[in-house]
Amino acid sequence: MFDLITKEAHKLQVLWSGSELYQAKGVSGEQYVVDLQRKICTCRRWEITGMPCKHGVASIWNMADNSGDVGIPEKWVNPIYFLDTWKRTYAFTINPINGRSMWKEPTANKLLPPIIVPQAGRPKKNRRKGIDENESMNNNGKLSRRGKSATCGNCGVYGHNKRGCPNGSQNVDQSNNGSKNVGQKRKKQADSSGTKKK
């Protein structure tokens, strides 16, 4: 893996900024900032993999050309990739165990699943709709006005409607009485026409 990275690093052009920061520029024009002190690159491959990216390797070589004590590039690789680390990881022994048929029964109380009591009635098929979802249309074919703000038709104030207007409550009462009278007249006319037909 590191050999492939070093081959790609030969194609890069590196500029030193005078501190620990380097600018690595590729053939296609892309450029990244490398911080050798923090061991990070703006391409983020060094931080994710723990192995210097091609920009980091090119910056290490540039630092070595300017009489910097950097050592070999493999020294900058995270110790997790070293053979000694692998040997320490698998140095201990894993003891064998018997099969499940030979396991002892636990003496403590077993954790049982909760008892589910079926609810009375037929279960609902439709899901519960959220508050922000559109409600279904009512019998008249109009959407419900539930949750919507109202503006008064008399005074134009936001927050109440014409029926609850404190300024024109008398006019509203009269108009309501008038509408009730009209409804009663229509009902009487319908009843009288029905009796005549019979």
| More confident site: 65 or 35 | 35
Residue 196 has pLDDT above 60, yes or no: no
How would you write 16-84 as a 3-class SS string?
Answer: ECCCCEEEEECCCCCEEEEECCCCEECCCHHHHHCCCCHHHHHHHHHHHHCCCCCCCHHHHCCHHHCHH
What is the strand order of the sheet 31-35 is part of? 13-16, 21-25, 31-35, 40-41
Residue 37 has pLDDT above 70, yes or no: yes
Residue 17 has pLDDT above 60, yes or no: yes
User: If you average pLDDT over every residue of the chain, what do you get?
Assistant: 78
> pLDDT class for 182, splitting at 50, 70, 90?
very low
The model's pTM is 0.45
Instruction: Look at residue 134 in the predicted model and tell me its pLDDT.
Output: 57
For residues 15-31, give the mean pLDDT. Answer: 84
Alpha carbon distance 162, 90 (integer Å) = 81
> pLDDT class for 194, splitting at 50, 70, 90?
low
Q: Report the range of poorest mean pLDDT among 19-23, 94-98, 130-134, 169-173.
A: 169-173
Alpha carbon distance 59, 182 (integer Å) = 92
Contacts (Cβ under 8 Å, ≥6 apart) of 165: 152, 153, 154, 155, 157, 172
For residues 112-131, give the mean pLDDT. Answer: 86
For residues 171-194, give the mean pLDDT. Answer: 52
Instruction: Look at residue 179 in the predicted model and tell me its pLDDT.
Output: 47
Residue 136 has pLDDT above 70, yes or no: no
pLDDT digits (tens, 9 = 90+) for 138-179: 556 666 666 677 788 888 888 888 888 888 754 444 444 444
Q: Report the range of poorest mean pLDDT among 30-34, 76-80, 102-106, 136-140.
A: 136-140
Contacts (Cβ under 8 Å, ≥6 apart) of 123: none
